[in-house]
Amino acid sequence: MTVTWRGALSYALTVTVVSWLVGLGVELALLVLSDGHDDWSAGRAADPWELVFPVAAVMALTAARRFLQPLPRWRVIVTDGLLYTAVLLLCGGITAWATGDEAPVDSAFVTGIFALFSLQLPAAWGLSGWRSGNLEVVVAPALTAEQPSRPTS
């Protein structure tokens, strides 16, 4: 049994894009409420390196759902939640390194903390639980000794 490509991609897009937008929306709302004194969120919202994360997360979640066996809902949430967090930390570290940060690992974990407080990670976990119930699972045919072999032409 496996999940279809269309189902895996739809799942990954929903989880990644919606949770990323939730996090960005909360950060922008906090920026507005702080009268524009939050330089970190303002710079983050305008940084083109921030688009690396959604692309990498969609690819990672799509591959995970497509190539891993269909799992119970709680295991999908745990597996994909850890994968989403790992991709977030990796992209945060790479982004910090590419922009010349002196401590990219620290910046990656600060990004993870902001993702937690801006509700991006909780939104991803909740969306993962919601969408995992709608994954399209198909049964791949298995060749056995009882089935006649197909002639090759």
Chain segment 100-117, per-residue pLDDT in tens = 889 999 989 998 998 999
- Are the CB atoms for 112 and 85 separated by under 8 Å? yes
Largest CA distance in the chain: 73
- Name the helix (H) or strand (E) containing 54: helix 52-67
- Please state the pTM of the whole predicted model: 0.81
Domain residue ranges of the chain, discontinuous segments joined by +: 2-134
**Which backbone phi and psi does 118 adopt, to 5 degrees?**
-90, 10
- Flag whether pLDDT at 135 surpasses 80: no
SS3 (DSSP) at 4: coil
Chain segment 21-67, per-residue pLDDT in tens = 999 888 888 888 877 665 655 556 566 777 889 999 999 999 998 88
